[in-house]
Structure 1
């Protein structure tokens, strides 16, 4: 499941909510640390956000402290005011003890701090008869550069959490309207700080055992939303590329049809299962048979005989081959997505014309 973040220090942007809903996102995360002088504004915005979530069947998870809980007229024994606001779950912050967490788990979904949770904490929750069907583990996001989580740590941590039957959520940075005051992204993993959002999200799911991924920043670009739409609706990874050959529109049409990686994936390239089986308008002559860098998009020419027409995306740099035409190059920011095209994964290539 994919979700996005909304912060209550600003007015709620209904257009953005609608755009993320239309893109297929199914969860909203927000944080409530209410300053004394602004309680009414926060309550109003939270109510607006909760109404939207409830009306559109979105999950609304709220990062909350005991202090903020009280300001909203709720307690661990009485979460009715939160339910009335449209809140479906709480990410537990400081000041709430395990007995209170256990009580809340019987009324709302509970998200525990995935990075700091210990076996003794799980044992305490069991002793207080917490409802573990309502408990998840959520990682933090890290606004300051160089403070995001280490990749090896995250994988080991998530494997432990999964062994304890806890679903895991983590964050990727947005690529538009990043949150201040640093404006450096809100990822869980430091290595993902400047990564394309979909690439980071798929890596968290496929490589780091995460179940859910949220956009940490309050903004996602239209192009990234389009990528999520394609993945959510069609289970297909969309790559943007630049054409390297003029003319030959028949080649480009051949390349821009839907593809899926072979079920027996190659080490060096992503191989389209479909391309070689599609009829060609005419034989593919040898052209631009140059070295193949990572991200090169190639089509086998007539020199490869029965392989003619096969479309590949290069995963590791390869030498030139006079039987392979290099016809395009995946854009730099989209290169990490190539690693997420596993066996049988559908993908599409959106090629910009040669100029």
Structure 2
């Protein structure tokens, strides 16, 4: 996954804070930066003073710089007209066309020879807009899409709405990103988080980011002004097409612990009562002795022991509660608040555990 942070010169952070944020993000493997050049509350004088220094620092770290632009941007930057070469000179590599641009203009922009990519607003996209872009001759290979974030409580997207928009964009081969809020310094003027999904407004950033990855989002962006170091680390290590679930470790056995640290694939022949790991028996590095042969409730993580003969090493996540079996060890449990994540571990999907 190509994940990112957000910068807002002329708003909450000092220049030093933003430069430090860029450095910390780069150390965590984050290679995308989102900024907006049409926020009404922006101190335009500060923006003009700091923007070039921030973009230069981002380029030094090899970061893609995405700028949200609209007709208002022209007045903020004293641009007499929309000129892609001016954005290139600033160091902006991707333009997110928020509103105010016709299909013919976007088609023209998509064929520019400056190497500037375009980004659509994933939250407001429709089949009609995409059909018009296709008819206008847009080069879709130079496009991706990014959802909005929503400062006002109660206005964020539902999961159903996000997935519907994502599915539409995927039909055209367009990758999609979305935002998660931070528990660190939140951005003004409301200071109530900037989520794409309303459900994420009060969630921990780690869970929100893993949830977006589970939903198949291609890029996760931290939206707030000054995320915490651990949030940067979380977003930096996210992997695409993998469902990572938080769990408690219940075994002290080193052989089983080693097995649990792997990434697995859910078997294509989906069982009714459990998610079965395709590779676990082949990954096992030693015998599994019987232990913790308890009732297997929903969310239990189990490993078959040596008494199950050739099934020894079979790893499962229980979907439907089952009685205790002396041949099956209960070695962990998916956290209660993350049981909802099991529905995303569909046949063929990668999954792993994040132990508390």
Shorter-chain TM range is 0.7 to 0.9
**1:263 and 2:270 aligned:** no
Which whole-Å deviations, capped at 9, do the CAs of 1:93-147 have from their partners, x for residues lacking one? 4555556545544443333333334566557657876555434443211122322
Which whole-Å deviations, capped at 9, do the CAs of 1:210-268 have from their partners, x for residues lacking one? 54432333455444544444444x986554432335xx433553444424124334444
CA distance in structure 2 between the partners assigned to 1:164 and 1:344 by the alignment: 23
CA distance in structure 2 between the partners assigned to 1:199 and 1:336 by the alignment: 12
CA distance in structure 2 between the partners assigned to 1:122 and 1:241 by the alignment: 41
Residues 173 and 216 of structure 1 are in contact (CA less than 8 Å); yes or no, is this contact kept in structure 2? yes
Candidates 61, 64, 73, aligned match of 1:56:
61
Match of 1:202 in 2: 213
Alpha-carbon spacing, 1:272–1:50, altered in 2? closer, same or farther (3 Å):
same
Match of 1:331 in 2: 335
CA distance in structure 2 between the partners assigned to 1:212 and 1:230 by the alignment: 12
- SS state of the match for residue 13, structure 1? helix
Q: Once structures 1 and 2 are overlaid, which stretch shifts more, 14-23 or 117-126? A: 117-126
**1:213 and 2:220 aligned:** yes
Match of 1:170 in 2: 178
CA distance in structure 2 between the partners assigned to 1:333 and 1:221 by the alignment: 22
CA distance in structure 2 between the partners assigned to 1:128 and 1:257 by the alignment: 49
Match of 1:2 in 2: 3
Q: Once structures 1 and 2 are overlaid, which stretch shifts more, 7-16 or 223-232? A: 223-232
Correspondences of 1:232-251 after superposition (within 5 Å): 232=239, 238-244=244-250, 248-250=252-254
Alpha-carbon spacing, 1:252–1:175, altered in 2? closer, same or farther (3 Å):
farther
Normalising to structure 1: TM-score of the pair?
Answer: 0.78
Give 1:29 shift: 0.8
CA distance in structure 2 between the partners assigned to 1:237 and 1:349 by the alignment: 9
Match of 1:280 in 2: 286
CA distance in structure 2 between the partners assigned to 1:350 and 1:36 by the alignment: 39
CA distance in structure 2 between the partners assigned to 1:259 and 1:120 by the alignment: 40
Which whole-Å deviations, capped at 9, do the CAs of 1:294-350 have from their partners, x for residues lacking one? 2x2222234433323333233x24133223232322334554554444545555445
Match of 1:23 in 2: 28
Residues 72 and 82 of structure 1 are in contact (CA less than 8 Å); yes or no, is this contact kept in structure 2? no
Give 1:3 shift: 2.2
**1:141 and 2:156 aligned:** no
Residues 92 and 111 of structure 1 are in contact (CA less than 8 Å); yes or no, is this contact kept in structure 2? yes
Residues 244 and 329 of structure 1 are in contact (CA less than 8 Å); yes or no, is this contact kept in structure 2? yes
Give 1:172 shift: 3.1
Q: Which runs of 5+ in 1 are unaligned?
A: none
The Cα RMSD (Å) is 3.6
- SS state of the match for residue 43, structure 2? helix
- SS state of the match for residue 267, structure 2? coil
Give 1:175 shift: 4.6
Match of 1:321 in 2: 324
CA distance in structure 1 between the partners assigned to 2:350 and 2:331 by the alignment: 20
Number of matched residues? 342
Residues 76 and 104 of structure 1 are in contact (CA less than 8 Å); yes or no, is this contact kept in structure 2? no
Alpha-carbon spacing, 1:186–1:332, altered in 2? closer, same or farther (3 Å):
farther
Alpha-carbon spacing, 1:132–1:305, altered in 2? closer, same or farther (3 Å):
closer
Residues 254 and 275 of structure 1 are in contact (CA less than 8 Å); yes or no, is this contact kept in structure 2? no
Q: Which runs of 5+ in 2 are unaligned?
A: none
Q: Once structures 1 and 2 are overlaid, which stretch shifts more, 71-80 or 120-129? A: 120-129
CA distance in structure 2 between the partners assigned to 1:183 and 1:289 by the alignment: 46
- SS state of the match for residue 91, structure 1? strand
CA distance in structure 2 between the partners assigned to 1:75 and 1:131 by the alignment: 26
CA distance in structure 2 between the partners assigned to 1:4 and 1:299 by the alignment: 39
Residues 236 and 345 of structure 1 are in contact (CA less than 8 Å); yes or no, is this contact kept in structure 2? yes
CA distance in structure 1 between the partners assigned to 2:355 and 2:162 by the alignment: 35
